[in-house]
A = this chain, B = another copy of it.
Amino acid sequence: MPKTDAHRSINLEQKFTLLEDHWQPRVVAELNDYQFKIARVLGEFVWHDHPDTDEAFLVLEGRLRIDLPDGSVEIGPGELYVVPRGTQHRPVAEEEARILLVEPRGVVNTGDVGGELTAESDVWI
């Protein structure tokens, strides 16, 4: 579990070289009880929500669409979007995208839905 070095910044591009799987968020830093996680995404994720927390998506490379109950949001590189707590959403990436997530420690990627795309939370890279 490589935690942050007290005198070293975290290079996100370098961290992505250690991550091959899609939809498997990996923690790169903590801010109080919040976590920064990187993820590679490709294809359709499952519809789910997080009843207790908002969830922030910052796209670093590629494009991510987030389907919402009443529309969708397109997020390109250098764009940020916050899904409000309790809002059903489905992330979709037509081509591989690299994203940075910010959310409280312990959030599970599929919410309460579960299924094969559920990743272990709190795994560092």
Which A residues have a C-beta under 8 Å from some C-beta of B? 4, 6-13, 28-32, 34, 36, 53-56, 58-60, 68, 70-76, 78-82, 84-85, 100, 102-104
Is the Cβ of B13 less than 8 Å from the Cβ of A80?
Answer: no
A71: nearest chain-B partner, CB-CB: B7
Q: Which 3 A-B pairs have the closest CB atoms?
A: A9-B79, A9-B81, A9-B75
Q: What is the count of identical protomers in the complex?
A: 2
Chain B residues, Cβ within 8 Å of A84: 6
User: Can you list 11 A-B pairs with a CB-CB distance of less than 8 A?
Assistant: A4-B81, A7-B70, A9-B59, A9-B76, A10-B79, A11-B76, A12-B79, A31-B34, A31-B82, A32-B54, A36-B80
Q: How far is the CA of A53 from the CA of B73 in the complex (A)?
A: 31
A60: nearest chain-B partner, CB-CB: B78
Is the Cβ of A10 less than 8 Å from the Cβ of B85?
Answer: no
Is the Cβ of B102 less than 8 Å from the Cβ of A31?
Answer: yes
